[in-house]
Amino acid sequence: MSVEVVYAFGNPNIGVYITASDKWALIPVEAPDKVEQALRRSLGVEVLRTTVGASSLIGILCVMNSKGLLLGNIVRDGEVQAIKRALGGELVVEVVSEMRENALGNLILANDRAAIVSPLVAPEVRRKVADALDVEVVEATLGGSSLVGALGVATNRGVLLSPILSDEEVAKVIELMGVPKGGVGTVNRGSIFVRSGLVANSRGALVGYETTGIEMMRVQSSLF
């Protein structure tokens, strides 16, 4: 499985602009063609160019797995309809209008089997997460932080988590997400917010251009 470095967006935080599952990736309308090509090549996905609330910060403003897509309430009706048309009914698309926080990508860690949600996520939203993504939902903090989505990336094969988590927490996340392996690591020369510099699925991963060789090895060993 490949781990590919991407030079784009003028900074190494590619995860704030992109979200991906085993089937689809969502990227900003203005993303360079090389980003789309890298996603198709390394992750083997279909690519949809879109905006969420007229913003390019798609990775922060939504959460997706192979079954569903959750969008923050900043999203516009026209964007929702365009996304639904493009996906052709392949995914359940839901707007989370029950809470003020729009940064769903920072608050939810999900794969196709489970989702860990921040305590900041209201009970009615947890039910929507369970229904839209068709997963078991568990409320938790990670490393004492409520930003559970920002501190990890989970695929259907493994999970990479921030080094602020304890060994016990890492083992628990691996169990909850139903994956055979996992570990801790950083991206972009020591960033503990793993999601900001990493986009991955079961086939491959893209990392920000400041990610070191050692960090890439941790991505490879934890996710694949």
10 Å CB burial of residue 175 (0-12, 13-18, 19+) is exposed
List the domains of the chain with CATH numbers.
2-223 (3.75.10.10)
Task: Report the alpha-carbon distance of residue 217 to residue 75 in Å, rounded.
Answer: 36
Q: How far apart are the C-alpha atoms of 82 and 54, rounded to whole Å?
A: 13
pTM score: 0.96
Could you give the count of Cα atoms lying within 13 Å of 55 in the half-sphere of its Cβ? 19
d(CA 148, CA 123): 16
| Residue found under tokens 């698309």 | 93
Give per-residue pLDDT as tens, 146-203: 999 999 999 999 999 999 999 999 999 999 999 999 999 999 999 999 999 999 999 9
* pLDDT of res. 38: 98
